[in-house]
Structure 1
Amino acid sequence: MFELSEMEEIVQEFLVESHENLDQLDRDLVELERDPGSRELLAGIFRTIHTIKGTSGFLAFAQLEQVSHVGEGLLSRLRDGELELDFERAAALLDLVDAIRTVLASIEATGAEGQHDFSGLVARLERLQSANPDATPSGQPRPAAAPAPEPADHDGGETEVDSRRGVADHTIRVDIGVLDELMQMVGELVLTRNRIVQQAGTIADPALMHTAHRLDVIAAGLQEGVMKTRMQPIGNIWSRMPRVVRDLGVVCGRQVRVEMEGRETELDRSLLEAIKDPLTHLVRNAVDHGIEPPQERVALGKPAEGVIWLRAYQQGGKVHVEIADDGRGIDPERIGLKAVERGLLTPEQLAALSLEETTSLVFQPGFSTAEAVSSVSGRGVGMDVVRTNIEQVGGTVALRSVPGLGSTVTLQIPLTLAIIPALTVATGGQRLAIPQLSLVELVAVPAGEVRTTIEDVSGVPVLRLRGRLLPLVHLDAALGLTSCRRADGTVSVVVVQSEGRQFGIVVDRVVDTEEIVVKPLSSQLTGIGLYAGAMVSGDGAVALILDVTALGHRSGVLGAARDLAGAAEPEQVTVEQEREAFLIVGVGPDRRVAVPLAAVHRIEELSTATLEQVGGREVIQYRDGILPLARLARVMGVVEDPGPQERVQVVVYSEGGRSVGLVVSAIHDISDDFDGVSSDLGGPGLNGSVVVGRQVAELLDVRGAVLAADPLFYEPAAPATLDWMAVPS
């Protein structure tokens, strides 16, 4: 017996839907006999047969397509009023339903249509399309009608099984509104469960504790079951992409194929709907802007046919979706010039941007590199909407591109939005929730270590955490609240991550972790922009859910290129918060280099005795992995002092799950005393020069420096010769 699990998913869906439609056709045709003039019934029957015919052709079921096509022709004339339904035509249509059911049974049992002779039925249906079916062109009596095919679900004994039991009887269609209502009820149950479990913990009653625990287990199981009913594979929305790519490729003159990986990865249905349009736009962008014309690809030594990869996988409680292409990539210089030309930022602001920030300008509202508006692109809408839509559902968007090699857009999306785990914190007498999807770790700094661990460098609060510098946001100050710090002087820091960067949120105290039901915000609170929703805690109190990304941007620790265009209101961002911070390092005997602090993952001082050589380059065993090293002096063409060294200073940079250690001569300072004065004077691995702390420093192009050391660092697949490590948090 052919196992259904081995069939293509689309064929299974076709079988289920067709069986249900055929059962409805049986009822509609019988009803139509009683009311032959019902245009509504005729239209519905015609649509069903038309759908079966179209899908059969798509799936290459030729026999099923042929017999459905003839039935569609008869139904079309009945629907248009050219013919009247009589007993013979109704009987022929019912026989058509049985014939389709017979073929479906063969497909389900063997994966193929099988051998069936429907020539007699086809002849009947063709003859009945005539206004006078009893007459023949030659005047001869018409031939006797062929016997109707046996119904596929006749009662043939105990050993025979209804063909529908393999698929249709194992599925059920439920209105999405019913699932939404059920989900809301489960949410209320979770809130009640949280309250009972919390109250039971304050009462010394073993029986009550046992009952509360049992309720906790049942509610969790019910919640998981309901969540599964809402989960759907991402392949459901991917299935349309090959057609989108094919049609757009014809319009744009491109040869493109689509490769998919992880199409079985599941997401909540509401999230699938939310990402459908952004995903389609990204795929269209890859065809129109990324993949080169065939002749251009051949001239560059590439295959004439371009490739778009769609990948999906679950990691860390999130679904990661990648849209990659092997096209021309994004030219940061062209992006920057277009941004200045369109007035999105000034030349001075552009000069201060890193390559990563320049590339991210494509997410600016109104940005487009197209020279003219077409039916495909050029209006400057799309990428900003992609980012906005993804962030509205608690996700993030990251763009990675290498000119000439291609681009990769990575979406990180929560599995569901209805019920999420969260950390509740208190600050200024208020309780707030932080989604655990954004949580990295919790750090408690004892009172005796505060002065040595938390520094105020040029007005910027920074936590020195395991050798790296972590910018801090004081939640009470950000929300305009009065702090209620702990009596013992301990400082609680919640380390979070957003848009690929980490920062710390200083709170008064950490309350608890619990699963929360996300409630939408009222219109009065939506405009604030710092909250993602509301929740009801276990004790019945209402708390707001913090939007980590919005907090990071408002506080200036997630400085993004789009903020430079004036998206934030002046009264919302202070001058100190707008300043960009730099790590000042020494390279060689006298070169002073400014490294954007946002690019600094950690600062390490390592023994030279631990350095090793692999494949002709320096590496070091670091934090349970292998960290490749790149000496900035060599990248910048600086002659180093050949004298012996016992220790080396390393700035660890991470992106896309890979890390590299940039070896410098010295670590000088951290400063945000940058007044915007810059110059394009520079050299290899540099983005020009800036004035930081009243001294001129060369501005490091981090991505350019890394590429100079290893051109394959940013490729979608890691180099086979070196296992790049992902540095743990």
Structure 2
Amino acid sequence: MDDDAEIIAEFLVESHENLDQLDRDLVELEQQPDSRERLSSIFRTIHTIKGTSGFLAFNRLEQLTHVGETLLSRLRDGEAVMTPTIAEALLSMVDTVRALLDAIERTSRDDDPQVDVAPVVAAIEGLLAAGSADEPATDEAAAGPDVSPAAPAAASSTPDPEPVVEPEPAASESIERRAVVDASVRVDVDLLDDLVDLVGELVLTRNQLLQRSSLSADLELVRASQRLDLVASELQESVMKTRMQPIGQVWSKMPRVVRDLSHQLGREVELVMEGHETELDRSLLEAVKDPLTHLVRNSLDHGIEPPEVRTAAGKPAKGTLSLRAYHESGQVVVEIADDGKGIDPDRIGSVALERGVVTRDQLARMDQREILGLIFRPGFSTAAQVSNISGRGVGMDVVRTNIERIGGSVDVASEPGRGTTTRVRIPLTLAIIPALVVGEGLADGDERYAIPQANLVELVRIEGDDLARQVENLAGAPVLRLRGKLLPLVSLAEILGGPAPDGEALTVVVLQSDEVRFGLCVSTVHDTQEIVVKPIGRQLKSLAMYAGATIMGDGRVALILDVAGIAVTAGVAATQQEMSDARGATAADLTSLLVLEVADGRRAALPLAAVARLEEFPTERIERSGVAEVVQYRDGILPLVRLASAIGLPDTSDRGEQVSVVVHETNAETGGAVGIVIDRVLDVVDVAVSASQVGRRAGVTGSAVVQDRVTDLVDLEAVVSRSGVSA
């Protein structure tokens, strides 16, 4: 119903505007009956209202406009000439249409008994039947629409207007009319663009005043600048909303594209569209229209198989093509997915070699994602023959070029035999974006650069001994061990052509570009600002690491970094692949451990795989069964084992009102479990354990250095067996 209400509201707004124009055109046509251009315009307007009325099932409105359209058709074809009688009948039709639209606005239906269309329809039909413009008008034609209770004709039948004039409904109708018709206004796009440019300049000025006022002792200046900051932000947000439009406007023609192309190719396709209300900037909407259309055509041509092929493969004869749009990390993500045959990387590689897109050595060094990316290379096509749909090797490269031109990205994921998903990421707007300002380049790091916040994950500061312990070298490339994972590092100073940073501290900006995550090492971090994006000159367009420029608060220019371009320039994707290979080679050597404190600061570690759950119980819930401590747990009885006592340490775990318990399942099939009582959990780590025999005893296999502390390695099976408890 929400969608229907939105369609009806748009129909009402457009129709009221058309009716206002019709009044003027009909009056001018009466004065200039030979104006073919004006007559054609009137005919098209009535035809549009009639067509939409039929679509929305407004039958009386459709009937009224149909007879009016027929009379206009006679005038247009020269079968009748414009006379005052015909002009009066057409103007009466316009008034009745307007009254019906008001009724639809109030009730969402056109069967309001207060609006009687029969007299006007009869009058026009009488003119059509007479076939002569000189025929005198019937009394119904002269009467016009019967719109009670506020019609002027009814008011003139009595000197007392009170019984027939009801001002309150008229006032409410006026209010209702304003709610729909006057709630929107048509504005030229160029005017909106100028307004956005002016707001951009206002934001720049706002930033300059904020920077100056932060150094001023004038309290009134500070207050005024803060107020300006608030107003400018709200104005900016409002102006940006005027340019935002739903992506459904681009998708509106997709059903027709899919229908025509599927018939042409002999496919059976069901189109599913989700997120049509997702909004983005109008300029971007226009920019992505053609790329999205091409991706849809490509899915139908290369993805979804003919029905007989799908049936033979065990799939439904009808394929599914889905379009999905949603917001993520300050961007709009559009997914075009099909359940077709997918993309075979081996086929892509062999075709790329045949067509000279890559060399054999280059192909050998590519991973699967890079091989799939070859479909975006100029001149690449897997089509066996050229058709009017594909085969010329143009299209996908233009898709990527157009998407990247507006600051977006496109990538493909595919599984042979199962389908393909193309994911397009688009910024919400190109005009004003939030960014992190960093410093680099000069001795004091005062050469500033802006990083879009859409790519920002976190900030990390590493100092002292942590620097030597967490920063390593893998295949000659620096990496950061961050929370158990390796993160490739890129020095902003180095990619700018300067020397590598050399200090006792490291500031890392963790960035994400599509599937690639890396750390950008910078000299200083300033603050976050809303920046106005300005295009860079053609001299710098060849440098992939710059996305644009902006003017800072002090009037200086700062370049905006392109995170995806930096990743490519620094070869981060290759570094990540090497790290993945290294992780795969050493995965068997890494062990996940749950690090515990068991007694007076002593540390122990359990294999994480042996831990089912972590629980806390009030001390008063602990009971005894014989010599064993137990607690009622999940409709059963959970025996407890004091870990400190079991491995020969003094037991301190019963201090306090709560006890911490690690639940260890001794038999997953029967649900048997034992609770290991500890002091507290410290951490979960993935480490390559180098066990020492030092400290080996009952329940302890040895010891190891974990997080720079000597830690007992607990043998849970031995602990449970030695305790004598039975689950």
The equivalent of 2:358 in structure 1 is 345
For 1:471, the equivalent position in structure 2 comes to: 488
Residues 1:117 and 1:374: Cα distance change in structure 2 (over 3 Å): farther
Alpha-carbon displacement from aligned partner over 1:690-727 (angstroms, at most 9, x marks no partner): xxxxxxxxxxxxxxxxxxxxxxxxxxxxxxxxxxxxxx
* Unmatched segments (≥5 aa) in structure 2: 153-164, 594-605, 613-683, 689-727
Aligned position for 1:111: 108
Q: Name which of structure 1's ranges 53-62 and 430-439 shifts more when overlaid on structure 2.
A: 53-62
Match of 1:688 in 2: none
Q: Provide, for residues 28-62 of structure 1, a one-character-per-residue CA deviation record: whole Å limited to 9, x for no partner.
A: 22122223333443343233223333434444545
Q: Which residue of 2 aligns with 1:159?
A: 169
Deviations 1:147-202 (A, max 9, x none): 54346996753213146334112222222222222211211111111111111111
CA distance, structure 1, for counterparts of residue 271 and residue 611 of structure 2:
40
Counterpart position of 2:709: none
2:304 maps to which residue? 291
Q: Could you say which residue in structure 2 is the equivalent of 1:639?
A: none
Query: Shift of the alpha carbon at 1:501?
Result: 0.5
Aligned residue in 1 for 2:706: none
In 1, are the aligned partners of 2:487 and 2:518 still within 8 Å (CA)?
Answer: yes
TM-score by length of 2: 0.72
Query: Which amino acid in structure 2 is aligned with residue 28 of structure 1?
Result: D
Aligned pair partner of 1:435 in 429, 434, 452: 452
**Structure possessing the higher radius of gyration over alpha carbons:** 2
**Matched position secondary structure for 1:370:** coil
Q: TM-score, normalised by structure 1?
A: 0.72
Please list, as runs of the form range in 1=range in 2, the aligned pairs for 1:511-522 lying within 5 A after superposition: 511-522=526-537
**Within-5 A mapping of 1:21-100:** 21-61=18-58, 63-76=60-73, 78-79=75-76, 83-100=80-97
Q: Partners of 2:8 and 2:39 in 1: how far apart?
A: 27
1:234 maps onto 2:247 in alignment:
yes
- State the number of aligned residues: 581
Do the aligned partners of 2:456 and 2:510 also contact (CA within 8 Å) in 1?
Answer: yes
Identify the residue that residue 538 of structure 2 maps to in structure 1: 523
Provide the secondary structure at the position in 2 that maps to 1:298.
helix
Alignment of 1:77-476 (within 5 A): 78-79=75-76, 83-114=80-111, 121=120, 125=124, 133=132, 148-150=144-146, 157=166, 158-160=168-170, 161-162=173-174, 164-429=177-442, 430-446=447-463, 448-476=465-493
Inter-CA distance 308–180: structure 2 relative to 1 (3 Å threshold): same
CA deviations on 1:187-236 (whole Å, 9 max, x unpaired) are 11111111111111112233222222222111111112212222222222
Query: Contact 1:469 / 1:603 at 8 angstroms: preserved in 2?
Result: no
Shift in Å at residue 252 of structure 1? 1.9
Aligned positions of 1:673-688 closer than 5 A = none
Is 1:549 the counterpart of 2:564 in the alignment? yes
**Once the 2 structures are TM-superposed, how far is the Cα of residue 283 of structure 1 from its aligned partner?**
2.1
Q: Secondary structure at the match of 1:529?
A: coil
- Counterparts of 1:481 and 1:131 in 2: how far apart (Å)? 91
Quote how far apart the aligned CAs of 1:433 are. Answer: 0.9
- The residue type paired with residue 609 of structure 1 is P
- Residue 531 of structure 2: SS of its match in structure 1? strand
- Would the alpha carbon gap of residues 533 and 443 (structure 1) be closer, same or farther in structure 2, given more than 3 Å must change? same
The alignment status of 1:507 with 2:504, answered yes or no, reads: no
Q: What secondary structure, in the 3-state scheme, does the structure 1 residue paired with 2:386 have?
A: coil
Change (3 A) 1:285 1:11: farther
Q: In structure 2, which of residues 13, 38, 57 is the aligned counterpart of residue 16 of structure 1?
A: 13
Q: Using the alignment, how far apart are the partners of 1:526 and 1:394 within structure 2? A: 13
In structure 2, the residue matched to 1:703 is: none
RMSD, matched Cα:
3.5
Tell me the amino acid that sits aligned with residue 197 of structure 1.
L
Given that residues 456 and 512 in structure 2 are in contact (C-alpha distance below 8 angstroms), is that contact kept between their aligned partners in structure 1?
Answer: yes
3-state secondary structure, aligned to 2:572: coil
Deviation at 1:604, TM superposition (A): 5.9
Whole-Å separation in 2 of the counterparts to 1:437 and 1:386:
22
Cross-structure match for 2:592: 606
Cα deviations by residue, 1:452-502 (Å, 9 ceiling, x for unpaired) = 43334443232232222222222223222467x58x632222221112101
Matched, 1:536 2:551: yes
Offset at 1:420?
0.5
Q: Secondary structure at the match of 2:540?
A: helix
| Native 8 Å contact 2:455 2:563 kept in 1 | yes
How big is the shift at 1:613? 10
Q: Is the 8 A contact 1:49 1:71 kept in 2?
A: yes
Distance in 2 (CA, whole Å) between partners of 1:129 and 1:314 is: 56
- Cα distance per residue 1:502-529 (max 9 Å; x no partner): 1222222222211101112223332333
Shift of 1:437: 0.8
Further displaced range: 153-162 or 328-337: 153-162
Deviation at 1:355, TM superposition (A): 2.5
Q: Distance in 1 between matches of 2:583 and 2:224?
A: 65
Q: Distance in 1 between matches of 2:253 and 2:385?
A: 28
In 1, Cα distance between the equivalents of 2:57 and 2:300? 28
**Change in 2 beyond 3 A, CA 1:482/1:346:** closer
Q: Which runs of 5+ in 1 are unaligned?
A: 560-576, 588-592, 596-601, 615-645, 651-729
Report if the CA contact (8 A) 1:98-1:150 is conserved: no
Question: 1:132 Cα shift?
Answer: 5.2
**2:86–2:133: 8 Å Cα contact kept in structure 1?**
no
